[in-house]
């Protein structure tokens, strides 16, 4: 099976053309391929499929390193766009792509960065999903005798965003997994640790559902900015500084799409016998 290794700010992917190849991967096979010593090694595996409806160009499927299929991957979307052009699957520079939960629009810029219309963030607890009596801008979660204040949002996938004084000293390694699997997140969650530098700049680390801490998380950057804007901490255009690099997030507020712009890097092409 042919594949490409790509990354978005160090969040790395195995990208597979499932249009010209017949690809069926079990969760166990995905976990084996994800192994960074005995497999290809990646945070997520991305499948490029033919369109599910005539008004879209492709269907986009995402699998975490633990084999779980998920609804959305922002860094992966930018790599998806560059992959389909590099592989000659399209000549279009604006792509309409369906995912498990909605449609995203990918625009490949002349400098090969990619701008993604990620759709509108959702804060309704039952749609994140998050167990809460009613919708709030800030929630209290108790974990291991600690009281954590957070915001929650869905970018198609579930996110919990915690404001911290300094991302470098944030307790990502301990709090990340505890919150990822907290009982208030019935489908688990991606946990973002956000340091507000000013209204147009944040620093962010993300402990991802099904992958652990990654060098960058596109939907995590989107969710952090959306939560921050809703909490009155951020302006409509925010630079998000992640360990792997920078993303530009723009959101005008409810009933508008949120846009993410950033790089997508092709590392190598490979072949693997399954």
Ligand X SMILES: N[C@H](CCC[C@H](N)C(=O)O)C(=O)O
What does the binding site for ligand X look like in residue numbers (CB under 6 A)?
11, 43-44, 62, 64, 70, 73-76, 157, 190, 208-211, 214, 217-219
Q: Please, which residues have CB within 8 angstroms of residue 151's CB and are 6 or more apart in sequence?
A: 137, 138, 139, 160, 161, 227, 228, 230, 231
Nearer to ligand X, 127 or 142 (CB): 127
Tell the smallest beta-carbon distance from residue 43 to ligand X (Å).
6
Tell the smallest beta-carbon distance from residue 210 to ligand X (Å).
5
Nearer to ligand X, 70 or 152 (CB): 70
Tell the smallest beta-carbon distance from residue 211 to ligand X (Å).
5
Nearer to ligand X, 66 or 198 (CB): 66
Is 73 considered catalytic here?
Answer: yes
Tell the smallest beta-carbon distance from residue 183 to ligand X (Å).
17
Tell the smallest beta-carbon distance from residue 33 to ligand X (Å).
16
Q: Pick the catalytic residue from 73, 79, 122, 150.
A: 73
Q: Pick the catalytic residue from 79, 122, 150, 217.
A: 217
CA distance 75 to 157: 13
Nearer to ligand X, 157 or 241 (CB): 157
DSSP letter string, the chain: -EEEEEEETTEEEEEEE-SSS-----HHHHHHHH-TTTS---SEEEEEE--SSTT-SEEEEEEETTS-EES--HHHHHHHHHHHHHTTS---SEEEEEETTEEEEEEE-TTS-EEEE----B--GGGTT---SS--SSEEEEETTEEEEEEEEESSSEEEEEE-S-GGGS-HHHHHHHHHT-TT-TT--EEEEEEEEETTEEEEEEEETTTEEES--HHHHHHHHHHHHHTT---SEEEEEETTEEEEEEE-STTS-EEEEE--EEEEEEE---
Nearer to ligand X, 108 or 262 (CB): 262
Residues taking part in catalysis: 73, 217
């Amino acid at each position: 099976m042919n594949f490409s290794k790509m990354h978005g700010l160090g969040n790395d992917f195995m990208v597979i053309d499932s249009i010209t190849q017949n690809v069926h991967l079990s969760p166990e096979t995905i976990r084996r391929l994800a192994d960074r010593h005995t497999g290809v090694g990646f945070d997520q595996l991305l499948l490029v499929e033919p369109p599910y409806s005539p008004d879209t160009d492709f269907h986009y499927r995402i699998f975490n390193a633990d084999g779980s299929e998920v609804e959305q991957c922002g860094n992966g979307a930018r790599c998806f766009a560059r992959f389909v052009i590099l592989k000659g699957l399209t000549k279009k520079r604006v792509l309409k792509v369906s995912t498990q939960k909605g449609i995203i629009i990918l625009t490949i810029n002349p400098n090969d960065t990619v701008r993604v219309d990620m759709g509108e963030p959702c804060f309704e607890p039952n749609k994140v999903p998050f167990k809460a009596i009613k919708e709030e801008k800030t929630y209290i979660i108790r974990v291991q005798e600690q009281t954590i204040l957070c915001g929650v949002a869905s970018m198609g996938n579930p996110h919990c965003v915690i404001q911290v004084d300094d991302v470098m000293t944030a307790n990502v390694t301990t709090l990340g997994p505890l919150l990822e699997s907290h009982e208030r997140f019935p489908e688990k969650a991606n946990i973002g640790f956000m340091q507000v530098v000013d209204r147009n700049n944040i620093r962010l680390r993300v402990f991802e559902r099904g992958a652990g801490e990654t060098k960058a998380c596109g939907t995590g950057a989107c969710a952090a900015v959306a939560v921050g804007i809703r909490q009155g901490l951020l302006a409509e255009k925010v630079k998000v500084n992640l360990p792997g690099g920078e993303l530009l997030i723009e959101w005008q507020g409810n009933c508008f799409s949120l846009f993410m712009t950033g790089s997508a890097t092709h590392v190598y092409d490979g072949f693997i016998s399954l």
